[in-house]
Each structure stands twice: as structure tokens, then as C-alpha cells.
């Protein structure tokens, strides 16, 4: 069986996913949802999408009567994810939603509940969960190669340009660097350490309050404490380039990856040597694997379901609270 996918929000990332899906054998791009008629026409010819599988945001609910589409992949700005996932679920379609799954844990929990009620799967676009070098480090950790894991460092950021883009608009982005890029350090800390954090502390630095308005964070440092005693020290920033590094340290060895979450190739080494797993386009492997999860009930090594997305949202809520109060915030995941 092939997972027949419609993309919603035909921007930069949707294009990347559409191009990557050309190489998929188990997933196929068959539909599109956009508010811009010209984009739908362009996508029909560029990706061979039939006109009958194209929708705008006003007539989208009619997708429920379309038997040729199995899943909707949402690649719109962050604040739209919540209502669009609810709409897709109400239309009886499986949903793949980009990260961050929503703006906060309250929204996230509603999305998980709505998809459960509708009997559809909800997956989050965590492409790193399928990346071969990342999975090798996780395998080594589970195998005890690093000994007792003691520390993780995750540095994630880039220097953001155009001040008018949605990523710097609180209404559309829900925040700043943490929502967009810091989430890779949050999520990475969890899959690299292999535990759920029990507390968080966080500090914010803002050097440019004109570009980074109220509610849009430029740089946040945060620390996660895990029940075993592991501590993660993380940095999320919109004002530094070359910030894409993971470091895991245990009493018998280490792993370091740089770049660690970019589109790749990912590079890394452990105390045993270079990581040599071959690079493949992340979004191609992701969609192949997600087709298996949705259609065949396959279990991924690192979860990519709505509950997984919700955990990261709970941590995001806690980080913002820790920034505001200056206090250590307890987590229940």
C-alpha cells in the first residue's frame, strides 16, 4: 500500500517535502491545500497533482469525501497547526503536522484527543528520528557503549534575516527561536539521553528588542534535569550561526555530532570513531517510515506521534515559565 498525501501550506518546507517524496516508494504526493490559486496551478503541473485533489482553506472540509487522499501534511506557520489538525481529523484524514506541533501543551492535548476520537493517526514531522547516524548513537547508548550517561549539550540556532517574516511574529510563530529551532535541542536531549526530564531552568538574553519584539525570544539557555541525574545544557538562538551541535558524555565514552539536526549530511564521531552511516534525504526516509507507521502500524525506534509532540510542548511551556519566574520548574511528562 502507498500513503497518499496532501500538503497544506505550500511554502519553503512543503516544497522540500514534495521534492523529497519524489524518491519515496511507500508515500506519494497526490494533493495540495493552499490559499493562493496560482500555487495550486503550479503544483499541479510541477508534481502531477490532479485538480480534483486541490483545495483552499474555505472548501478544505470537502476533503472528507475524497477517497484518494489518506493523510494531510500540515506545513503552515506554527499558530495554524492546532485548528488545521482538528479540521483534518474531523475530515477523517490521518495527520502529519510540522514541529512545533502547536503553541502550547493545552493545544497539543486537544489535538491528541481530537485525532484519537476521530480514529486517525497524528504524527509530528520529527525527521531526525529516522536519521541513520542519530539512530546509531541511540543504538550505542542502549547497548551501553557510553557507559552511564552523565551529560548532554544541545546547541541549536541560526542568524535569522528578514524582520517581517512570520517566524518573528508572535501571533504566527507563538514565540521565537525556542519554538522554531530550540525545539531540536529539547527533542534531541530526550532521544539522546533516553529519558524524560523532571525539571527545567532557563534564562533569556535579548540583544535586539526591535527585531525580537515582546514574546519573541532571541536567545534562551535552558537546562534539563533527568531522574537518573543526567543534566542537559542547551542553547536556542536566532542570533548565532554555526550553532548545530550535540554532545553526549558518559563514563565510558562520548558522541558528538555537528551538524546534528540540519538537513545534512549529519556528521559525527564517538570515542570509537567516525559515524559512517550513509546520508539519505531526511524527508524521504521520514515519509517512507511514516507510511509504514500509518498503513502498517510499524513502531518507530523513536516515537513521532502526537504524545511525543505534546511532551516537547510541555517542556516549552516550562521553559517559558522558568524564564519568566527565574525558578526551577518541575515537569510531569
Strand order in the sheet with 94-97: 54-55, 27-33, 3-8, 71-74, 94-97, 122-124
Spatial separation of the C-alpha atoms in residues 172 and 315, rounded to whole Å? 20
Q: In the complex with ligand NAD, which residue's Cβ is closer, 42 or 145?
A: 42
DSSP codes of every residue in 281-308: -HHHHHHHHHHHHHHH-PPPSS--BHHH
3-state SS class at 39:
helix
Q: In the complex with ligand NAD, which residue's Cβ is closer, 80 or 138?
A: 80
3-state SS class at 208:
coil
Contacting positions for ligand NAD (CB under 6 A): 9-14, 35, 75-78, 80, 98-99, 125, 127, 166, 172, 180
CB 23 within 8 Å of CB 108: no
CB 261 within 8 Å of CB 156: yes
Q: In the complex with ligand NAD, which residue's Cβ is closer, 180 or 195?
A: 180
Q: In the complex with ligand NAD, which residue's Cβ is closer, 19 or 145?
A: 19
Distance in Å, CB of 72 to ligand NAD, minimum = 13
Distance in Å, CB of 65 to ligand NAD, minimum = 23
Distance in Å, CB of 111 to ligand NAD, minimum = 14
Distance in Å, CB of 233 to ligand NAD, minimum = 23
Closest CA to 316 of 150, 108, 112: 108
Spatial separation of the C-alpha atoms in residues 119 and 230, rounded to whole Å? 37
On the question of a cis peptide bond just before residue 113, with omega within 30 degrees of 0, the verdict is no
Q: In the complex with ligand NAD, which residue's Cβ is closer, 195 or 317?
A: 317
On the question of a cis peptide bond just before residue 242, with omega within 30 degrees of 0, the verdict is no
Could you give the residue numbers annotated as active site?
99, 184
CB-closest chain residue to ligand NAD = 11
Instruction: Please tell me what DSSP assigns to residue 277.
Output: P
Distance in Å, CB of 246 to ligand NAD, minimum = 16
Amino acid at each position: 500500500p502507498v500513503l497518499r498525501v496532501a500538503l497544506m501550506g505550500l511554502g519553503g518546507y512543503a516544497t522540500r517535502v514534495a521534492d523529497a517524496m519524489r524518491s519515496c516508494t511507500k508515500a506519494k504526493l497526490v494533493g495540495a491545500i493552499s490559499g493562493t490559486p496560482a500555487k495550486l496551478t503550479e503544483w499541479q503541473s510541477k508534481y502531477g497533482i490532479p485538480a480534483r485533489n486541490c483545495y483552499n482553506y474555505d472548501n478544505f472540509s470537502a476533503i472528507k469525501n475524497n477517497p484518494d487522499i489518506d493523510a494531510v501534511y500540515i506545513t503552515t506557520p506554527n499558530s495554524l497547526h492546532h485548528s488545521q489538525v482538528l479540521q483534518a481529523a474531523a475530515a477523517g484524514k490521518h495527520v502529519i503536522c510540522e514541529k512545533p506541533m502547536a503553541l502550547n501543551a493545552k493545544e497539543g492535548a486537544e489535538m491528541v484527543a481530537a485525532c484519537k476520537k476521530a480514529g486517525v493517526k497524528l504524527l509530528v514531522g520529527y525527521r531526525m528520528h529516522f536519521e541513520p547516524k542519530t539512530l546509531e548513537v541511540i543504538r550505542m547508548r542502549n547497548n551501553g557503549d557510553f557507559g552511564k550517561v552523565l551529560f548532554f549539550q544541545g546547541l541549536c540556532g541560526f542568524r535569522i534575516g528578514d524582520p517581517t517574516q512570520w517566524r518573528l511574529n508572535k501571533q504566527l510563530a507563538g514565540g521565537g527561536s525556542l519554538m522554531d529551532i530550540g525545539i531540536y535541542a529539547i527533542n534531541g536531549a530526550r532521544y539522546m539521553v533516553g529519558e524524560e526530564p523532571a525539571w527545567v531552568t532557563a534564562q533569556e538574553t535579548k540583544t535586539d528588542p526591535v527585531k525580537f519584539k515582546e514574546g519573541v525570544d532571541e536567545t534562551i539557555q535552558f537546562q534539563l534535569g533527568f531522574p537518573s541525574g543526567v543534566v542537559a545544557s542547551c542553547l536556542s538562538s536566532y542570533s548565532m550561526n554555526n550553532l548545530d551541535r550535540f554532545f553526549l558524555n558518559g563514563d565510558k565514552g562520548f558522541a558528538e555530532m555537528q551538524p546534528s539536526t540540519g538537513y545534512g549530511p549529519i556528521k559525527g564521531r564517538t570515542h570509537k570513531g567516525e559515524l559512517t552511516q550513509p546520508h539519505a534525504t531526511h524527508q524521504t526516509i521520514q515519509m517512507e517510515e511514516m507510511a509504514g507507521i500509518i498503513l502498517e502500524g510499524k513502531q518507530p525506534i523513536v516515537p513521532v506521534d502526537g504524545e511525543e509532540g505534546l511532551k516537547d510542548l510541555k517542556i516549552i511551556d516550562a521553559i517559558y515559565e522558568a524564564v519568566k519566574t527565574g525558578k526551577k520548574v518541575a515537569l510531569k511528562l
